[in-house]
Amino acid sequence: MSTHFTRNKVNIFGHKNPDTDSICSAIAYTWLKQQTDKDHVFEARRCGHVNRESKFALNYWQADTPRLCTSVSPQMKDVDFRLQPGIDSETTIRRAWIMMREQDIETLCIIDKEKNLKGLITMADIANANMAIFDTEILAEAHTSYQSLMDTLDGELIIGNIDGSIEKGRIFIGTSPEVIEENVEEGDIVLVTNRYESQICALECGASVVIICAGSTASKSILKRAEEKKCVIMSTPYDTYVAARMVSTAVPVRHIMLSENLLVFGVNTYVEDARKVMASVRHRYFPILDMDGKYLGVCSRRNLLNVHPKPVILVDHNELDQSDDGMDEAEILEIIDHHRIGNIETNGPAYFRAEPVGCTSTIIWTIMREKELTPPKQIAGLMLSAILSDTLCFRSPTCTARDVNAAEALAKIAEVDINEYAKRMFEAGEDLTGRSGLDILYTDFKIFTYGDLKFGVGQSTFMTEKNRKMAEELVKPVLEQALAKSGIEMVFYMATDTPSKTTDLYCAGENADMIARFAFKTEPQEDGAYILHDVVSRKKQMIPPLRMAMQAQL
């Protein structure tokens, strides 16, 4: 395969609309796997935009932002396509035909020295060229080199400059001096036998190339005259009939190759897209280009029958609706999570570690301890960020003693004060400068299911009432728009005030208000907000009551 990608690469990522836990835990677990598994290449990825809180953590600890991953559907690099070498544009038709037979392939790709794709040639193209028996000027039209002509005929140069090329003239078989004298013109390519009269007549008529067939040679007087006329003379072991059939195959493939409107695929082209294109045309092989646009090989419909699923590791989620697109086609190797067990399925056995703690990074810290690993300062700082974010600096009801202990241990490694760092991180996350209502809502937004019903819940946490109120005023007008955009039945938005442990809940969608009233046994305020005291956790305090209300009311 290409050096640009590898089959043993494993992507590690969290859920869509990633929060700080999803981003930082993916990076931390990638580091852990790199220490314990040398047989694979691991990369932390993300399934959405990085929110401001996460950006602060990444910048503070000088960590690179994980690359975006929008789908894990198989791509052409996951297919065992054929690593067919490309050929030079000066390759003769005959040589191309021989290569096709030897390699049992019907298509060859023409590339330049930098491996840029210039065109392709098929067995059908060669057949069509061979059937063009009336095109006697094909060697001149293609500017065929003398060297290519001699190589095609397995010939031997007798006299003349082999470095030139044929620029004009027709192909003519000199059966007799009389026929030659009547038909041969200046610049023609003439095939003759060992007859002196035919050879000299071809020279006197101005032939640019004289090909002596059947392994015959030329006399000294012929050679002297050829030198005077600057005519190239070569000998071929083939008889006149065979030589006549072969001579036109000396044409370089560039002359008949297909070079426009080429159907090509990149290694990142999704297999499903390639399959649709292949089904719409009659071509059998299609060129594959690497990520730099350089030629790699060719792919056929048959190759698409053997697709390697992408190996992935999921952190901070285990529900299909919250994961990346194409997950049903991926190979899930591991799941590290602290949420309820959802509806995700695996095609084979997978390592699944779900624990009732407040943050995924707490579980990862536990695994590190089990393996006697101590993360570097950067990784420890990122893990601390995840724990503080998910537990609201230990104020969330999901927070456990294990989360606190992990955070304290990580803070020592990272050499930061927990409270001071948490204050700076939360302030960065609360910054609403230049943000829209939809941006705020989707910063931490998850879609859940109950039976056939889908509903979304977004949450923002604030340390100051001023920022919370400002966010609510921006989000409320766009809830209906978010409902239509997400294609779900109900949408809920939690504006959580961390110090007071209070959440203002807003909702949109048919039956959403009825569900909220039943779930929390309260009525909305004039602005539509449901004031929920001691409710700060979406996972533990919001989703379970909503699901119970849906079960009772719908």
Domain shared by 208 and 282, yes or no: no
Task: Reply yes or no on whether the pLDDT at 2 is more than 60.
Answer: no
Domain shared by 447 and 543, yes or no: yes
Task: Reply yes or no on whether the pLDDT at 471 is more than 90.
Answer: yes
For residues 553 and 514, is the Cβ–Cβ distance under 8 A?
yes
Task: Reply yes or no on whether the pLDDT at 290 is more than 90.
Answer: yes
Q: What number is the average pLDDT over the span 154-163?
A: 93
Domain shared by 414 and 499, yes or no: no
Q: Kindly state whether residue 2 falls inside one of the protein's structural domains.
A: no
Rounded Cα distance, 95 and 99, in Å: 6
Domain shared by 481 and 396, yes or no: no
Domain shared by 445 and 549, yes or no: yes
Mind listing the pLDDT tens digit for each residue in 370-421?
999 999 999 999 999 999 999 999 999 999 999 999 999 999 999 999 999 9
Task: Reply yes or no on whether the pLDDT at 243 is more than 60.
Answer: yes
pLDDT recorded at residue 202: 95
Domain shared by 244 and 291, yes or no: no
Q: Kindly state whether residue 492 falls inside one of the protein's structural domains.
A: yes
Q: Kindly state whether residue 335 falls inside one of the protein's structural domains.
A: yes
Domain of 176, CATH number, reads 3.40.1390.20
Task: Reply yes or no on whether the pLDDT at 3 is more than 50.
Answer: no
Q: Kindly state whether residue 138 falls inside one of the protein's structural domains.
A: no
pLDDT band per the 50, 70, 90 thresholds, residue 452: confident
Our count of domains for the chain comes to 4
Domain shared by 121 and 268, yes or no: yes
Query: Which percentage of the chain shows pLDDT scores above 90?
Result: 84
Q: Indicate the residue among 250, 271, 290 that finishes a domain.
A: 250
Task: Reply yes or no on whether the pLDDT at 54 is more than 90.
Answer: yes
Query: Which percentage of the chain shows pLDDT scores above 70?
Result: 99
pLDDT recorded at residue 469: 94
Domain shared by 322 and 297, yes or no: no
- Sequence-distant (≥ 6) Cβ neighbours of residue 211 within 8 angstroms: 149, 153, 155, 189, 190, 191, 192, 233, 234, 235, 236, 243, 247
pLDDT band per the 50, 70, 90 thresholds, residue 33: very high
Angstrom CA distances, 177 to 193, 359, 386, stand at 11, 96, 94
Angstrom CA distances, 403 to 368, 375, 502, stand at 14, 17, 22
Q: What number is the average pLDDT over the span 484-509?
A: 94
Q: H or E element: which one contains 449?
A: strand 445-450
Give the mean pLDDT of the chain: 93
Rounded Cα distance, 208 and 219, in Å: 18
Beta-strand relationship, 156-159 and 232-235: antiparallel
Domain of 342, CATH number, reads 3.90.1640.10
Rounded Cα distance, 110 and 91, in Å: 9
Q: Which residues of 436-467 are buried (b: 16+ CB within 10 A; e: fewer)?
A: ebbbbbbbbbbbbbbeeeebbbbbbbbbeeeb
Domain shared by 244 and 320, yes or no: no
Paired tokens of 212: 């002596």
Rounded Cα distance, 384 and 400, in Å: 14
Q: Kindly state whether residue 502 falls inside one of the protein's structural domains.
A: yes
Paired tokens of 378: 């950067």
Domain shared by 228 and 181, yes or no: yes
Paired tokens of 144: 């065929």
Q: Kindly state whether residue 134 falls inside one of the protein's structural domains.
A: no
Domain of 443, CATH number, reads 3.10.310.20
Hey, what amino acid is at 367?
A: I
Name the least confident of 63-72, 84-93, 402-411, 445-454.
445-454
DSSP H helical ranges for 312-432: 360-370, 377-390, 401-414, 418-430
Mind listing the pLDDT tens digit for each residue in 501-516?
999 999 999 999 999 9
Q: What number is the average pLDDT over the span 107-126?
A: 94
Domain of 276, CATH number, reads 3.10.580.10
Q: Which residues form the domain of 87?
A: 77-128+255-305
Q: Kindly state whether residue 4 falls inside one of the protein's structural domains.
A: no
Rounded Cα distance, 368 and 350, in Å: 19
From the list 15, 25, 26, the residue with the least C-alpha distance to 386 is 25
pLDDT recorded at residue 1: 40
Paired tokens of 261: 């409107």
Q: Kindly state whether residue 3 falls inside one of the protein's structural domains.
A: no
Q: Indicate the residue among 383, 408, 429 that finishes a domain.
A: 429
Residue 281 burial (CB count, 10 A): 9
Domain shared by 457 and 371, yes or no: no
Q: Indicate the residue among 305, 325, 346 that finishes a domain.
A: 305
Task: Reply yes or no on whether the pLDDT at 5 is more than 60.
Answer: no
Domain shared by 301 and 316, yes or no: no
Residue 351 burial (CB count, 10 A): 10
Mind listing the pLDDT tens digit for each residue in 214-228?
999 899 999 999 999
pLDDT recorded at residue 6: 63
pLDDT band per the 50, 70, 90 thresholds, residue 4: very low
Rounded Cα distance, 87 and 358, in Å: 59
Q: What number is the average pLDDT over the span 512-524?
A: 96
- Sequence-distant (≥ 6) Cβ neighbours of residue 179 within 8 angstroms: none
Rounded Cα distance, 167 and 462, in Å: 80
Beta-bridge partners for 372: none
For residues 94 and 249, is the Cβ–Cβ distance under 8 A?
yes
